[in-house]
Chains A and B, each alone.
Chain A
């Protein structure tokens, strides 16, 4: 699993901040041009979809939280799922990843149905997710966090755990974990308890740990939430690194600036439905999207858009696009879907 050659990405430069800013259609992008012929409408067909969702709905106590008619996710690209608070993004994420069961609908991953497949089996099928509230496993060391991520471990079977049959695999796993820690600049934290790390480091560990499953599809739930601006750039660099390795990335975000910076395709949700799809530039110009965000600005929770339409005019230079304090406070709220 570890043997395949991957393009080397020099993360050191991006970690310094700002290096990759604005370079969204540069030559590094393996999917540049793929979306040229894709229609910018909700439910549009993609040339090579890795994930297809059909008629996925979920209601809570009579209120429809998610109602997605059709969605295709392009393989190898970074797709952003955005929308105001309470739009149903995280719920939709939970439905796709098996953490919650939809009332209706079908989801197909890489050609095979994953309806009703529990989350732990999805990880073995090459789909991994992270959480909005970072789930660092506090009372385990960072390297143990990493080692946990490896799938199909012989030593995870009760009886085999008693015999030394898993030692060789364990060494492999550990070596792979160390390599990833190095890539994410976390080697110095290797033997510390994960609970001692800063919020940003936890986000990094969570992402690195997810990569231990060697996923085809990485689903990140607000990877930038609550992270300080300096680290945001580093995180963005890592997300692009995933694409460079040929992995597909879907991430939830409600800060449009971040989205514009790194995504190839943007899906906008509002009130449980997909209201728009398109390239970041398409979305920035889409009046429906602006309406959706402005409409939600009356929501007391969503302070970052209270200043008026200014944030919707996506700045192309995103060095100052780190989420402000208000946005990160929002993101830290556990109830993304609101209680509308």
Chain B
């Protein structure tokens, strides 16, 4: 019998090690001058199968108080414009300076509105394409390379989703409660990590400011992520302890408890909006990585490390559920609560652990998702995907949640071969509906018995 703690310690060490590696691989940006708005322009040459930087394109950035600055892309296709400080800016690409045959993939996105927060550099994207753009011809380009890239993206999304979904499924399994606030826990992890990344605890408790990080100032994303995960676990514990454990004791019906999770979700979401404001942000580290090519696939280093880490963590969760006493107890309670109780398992303790680890995993998934973008309502945007994954895999089954997440991630991303990326999340609804009609107990769930 392995102790759960050993596995967890090992996992934590691995997370830290890998994230440190990530830190070495891409140093944080220097912030000696004012913040810059930057980006790079390139297009994919399908014949050469490589990215061609676009040189000499004029970019104009304008902001409040009549600020306006211009830059042109250099030999690497990169541009950067220094701006006076925080605020909203409009970035416009002069389409007439684009080379012959190259156009914006989505002309609607030019000019772009963006926001600079906390004096941090801001990356903007102008996806380019060979031939006439417009974004609507995505369904047409069915190259092997595109399939490979979308598969990689889908796998990435699936892996991150799985970390969020496992907790949801296990909470349902052990308590019968569908936690509609689970996606908020993903946002919570994302935002607390952002917070530690920039301010440390001093952001909330002002007098801590003179202390060293993480109390008085921001820390590198790696320890910030660990702190964010801890905050996730803490919140999970707190929610169970203050809301649902007393509710279970008082015999509050599951339906009423579900309404409570709805209330919790809106409470958390608007609390986070209140604190963090509306605009999209990014973490202070690893924000400006360029994608690297591995065969036909392009991924940034941070994505590769995060994907590797999530695989390690998911395997770790599997081992935990399979080998440790607590993990086995979690599965037993999920299987049959009464039976588990009668064999002497402390069900309430198991539920508490499920909440803690489910929320911590969701928080970490938020950190990984946050490598692309940090936003106050991110969780709600993926709620549909998480539910589709959990229902497809079988409500209550941890392995089902994993399998369902990978499938949902892959199907959604590959669906953009045929449909607009804008509505790809709606595919999740279709998956959900089909799963319910064909196999309502889910791929790995068991049919229920009546009476």
Partners in one complex: yes
Residues of A within 8 A of B (CB): 60-61, 90-91, 93-94, 99-100, 131-132, 221, 333-337, 339
**Other than the known A94-B450, A335-B338, A336-B451, what 19 A-B pairs have Cβ atoms closer than 8 Å?**
A60-B446, A60-B449, A61-B446, A91-B449, A91-B451, A93-B451, A94-B451, A99-B450, A100-B449, A100-B451, A131-B451, A221-B451, A333-B338, A334-B338, A335-B336, A335-B339, A337-B449, A339-B336, A339-B339
CB distance from B397 to the nearest CB of A (A): 13
Q: Within 8 Å CB of A91, what residues of B?
A: 449, 451
CA distance A132 to B450 in the complex (A): 11
Q: Within 8 Å CB of B449, what residues of A?
A: 60, 91, 100, 337
Q: Within 8 Å CB of A94, what residues of B?
A: 450-451
Listed by A's residue number, 25 A-B pairs whose Cβ atoms lie within 8 Å are: A60-B446, A60-B447, A61-B446, A90-B451, A91-B449, A91-B451, A93-B451, A94-B450, A94-B451, A99-B450, A99-B451, A100-B449, A100-B450, A100-B451, A131-B451, A132-B451, A333-B338, A334-B338, A335-B336, A335-B338, A335-B339, A336-B451, A337-B449, A339-B336, A339-B339
CA distance A336 to B451 in the complex (A): 9
The main secondary structure of chain B at its interface with chain A is loop
Q: Within 8 Å CB of B446, what residues of A?
A: 60-61
Q: Within 8 Å CB of B339, what residues of A?
A: 335, 339
The residue of chain A having its C-beta at the shortest distance from the C-beta of B339 within the complex is A339
Interface range on chain B (Cβ under 8 Å from partner): under 10
CA distance A61 to B335 in the complex (A): 13
Q: Within 8 Å CB of A132, what residues of B?
A: 451
Q: Report B298-355 residues with CB < 8 Å from chain A CB.
A: 336, 338-339
CA distance A164 to B339 in the complex (A): 52
Q: Within 8 Å CB of A99, what residues of B?
A: 450-451
The main secondary structure of chain A at its interface with chain B is loop
Q: Within 8 Å CB of A334, what residues of B?
A: 338
Q: Report B434-451 residues with CB < 8 Å from chain A CB.
A: 446-447, 449-451
CA distance A337 to B446 in the complex (A): 16
Q: Within 8 Å CB of A60, what residues of B?
A: 446-447, 449
CA distance A334 to B339 in the complex (A): 11
The residue of chain B having its C-beta at the shortest distance from the C-beta of A338 within the complex is B339
CB distance from B45 to the nearest CB of A (A): 54
Q: Within 8 Å CB of A335, what residues of B?
A: 336, 338-339
Mask for B369-380, Cβ within 8 A of A = 1, else 0? Answer: 000000000000
Q: Within 8 Å CB of A93, what residues of B?
A: 451
The residue of chain B having its C-beta at the shortest distance from the C-beta of A129 within the complex is B451
Q: Within 8 Å CB of B451, what residues of A?
A: 90-91, 93-94, 99-100, 131-132, 221, 336
The residue of chain A having its C-beta at the shortest distance from the C-beta of B338 within the complex is A335
The residue of chain A having its C-beta at the shortest distance from the C-beta of B450 within the complex is A99
Top 9 closest A-B pairs, CB basis?
Answer: A99-B450, A94-B451, A90-B451, A100-B450, A94-B450, A339-B339, A339-B336, A61-B446, A99-B451
CB distance from B448 to the nearest CB of A (A): 10
The residue of chain B having its C-beta at the shortest distance from the C-beta of A337 within the complex is B449
CA distance A67 to B423 in the complex (A): 50
Q: Within 8 Å CB of B336, what residues of A?
A: 335, 339
The residue of chain B having its C-beta at the shortest distance from the C-beta of A61 within the complex is B446
CB distance from A79 to the nearest CB of B (A): 19
Q: Within 8 Å CB of A61, what residues of B?
A: 446
CA distance A339 to B447 in the complex (A): 14
CB distance from A85 to the nearest CB of B (A): 13
Mask for B150-176, Cβ within 8 A of A = 1, else 0? Answer: 000000000000000000000000000
CB distance from B369 to the nearest CB of A (A): 36
Q: Within 8 Å CB of A90, what residues of B?
A: 451
Q: Within 8 Å CB of B447, what residues of A?
A: 60
The residue of chain B having its C-beta at the shortest distance from the C-beta of A132 within the complex is B451
Q: Within 8 Å CB of A131, what residues of B?
A: 451
CA distance A91 to B449 in the complex (A): 8
CB distance from A163 to the nearest CB of B (A): 33
Mask for B219-247, Cβ within 8 A of A = 1, else 0? Answer: 00000000000000000000000000000
CA distance A61 to B449 in the complex (A): 11
Q: Within 8 Å CB of A100, what residues of B?
A: 449-451
CB distance from A132 to the nearest CB of B (A): 7
Q: Within 8 Å CB of A221, what residues of B?
A: 451
Q: Within 8 Å CB of B450, what residues of A?
A: 94, 99-100
CA distance A94 to B449 in the complex (A): 10
CA distance A129 to B447 in the complex (A): 23
CA distance A339 to B446 in the complex (A): 13
The residue of chain B having its C-beta at the shortest distance from the C-beta of A333 within the complex is B338
CA distance A132 to B336 in the complex (A): 19
CA distance A94 to B451 in the complex (A): 7
The residue of chain A having its C-beta at the shortest distance from the C-beta of B335 within the complex is A339
CA distance A99 to B449 in the complex (A): 10
CA distance A339 to B451 in the complex (A): 14
CB distance from B175 to the nearest CB of A (A): 17
The residue of chain B having its C-beta at the shortest distance from the C-beta of A133 within the complex is B451
CA distance A91 to B446 in the complex (A): 16
Mask for B407-446, Cβ within 8 A of A = 1, else 0? Answer: 0000000000000000000000000000000000000001
CA distance A169 to B449 in the complex (A): 37
Q: Within 8 Å CB of B338, what residues of A?
A: 333-335
CA distance A90 to B451 in the complex (A): 7
The residue of chain B having its C-beta at the shortest distance from the C-beta of A336 within the complex is B451
CB distance from B450 to the nearest CB of A (A): 5
CA distance A216 to B380 in the complex (A): 54
CA distance A91 to B450 in the complex (A): 8
The residue of chain B having its C-beta at the shortest distance from the C-beta of A94 within the complex is B451
The residue of chain B having its C-beta at the shortest distance from the C-beta of A300 within the complex is B342
The residue of chain B having its C-beta at the shortest distance from the C-beta of A65 within the complex is B449
Residue picked from B336, B446, B450, most chain A C-beta under 10 Å:
B450
The residue of chain A having its C-beta at the shortest distance from the C-beta of B336 within the complex is A339
CA distance A93 to B449 in the complex (A): 12
CA distance A143 to B394 in the complex (A): 41
CB distance from A83 to the nearest CB of B (A): 15
Mask for B246-289, Cβ within 8 A of A = 1, else 0? Answer: 00000000000000000000000000000000000000000000
Residue picked from B338, B449, B450, most chain A C-beta under 10 Å:
B449
The residue of chain A having its C-beta at the shortest distance from the C-beta of B446 within the complex is A61
CB distance from A127 to the nearest CB of B (A): 16
Q: Within 8 Å CB of A336, what residues of B?
A: 451
Q: Within 8 Å CB of A337, what residues of B?
A: 449
CB distance from A135 to the nearest CB of B (A): 10
CA distance A334 to B337 in the complex (A): 12
CB distance from B387 to the nearest CB of A (A): 25
CB distance from A256 to the nearest CB of B (A): 22
The residue of chain B having its C-beta at the shortest distance from the C-beta of A93 within the complex is B451
CA distance A332 to B206 in the complex (A): 58
The residue of chain A having its C-beta at the shortest distance from the C-beta of B447 within the complex is A60
CA distance A237 to B338 in the complex (A): 35
CA distance A94 to B339 in the complex (A): 22
CB distance from B342 to the nearest CB of A (A): 8
CA distance A247 to B323 in the complex (A): 56
CA distance A54 to B451 in the complex (A): 22
CB distance from A93 to the nearest CB of B (A): 7
CA distance A337 to B338 in the complex (A): 13
The residue of chain B having its C-beta at the shortest distance from the C-beta of A100 within the complex is B450
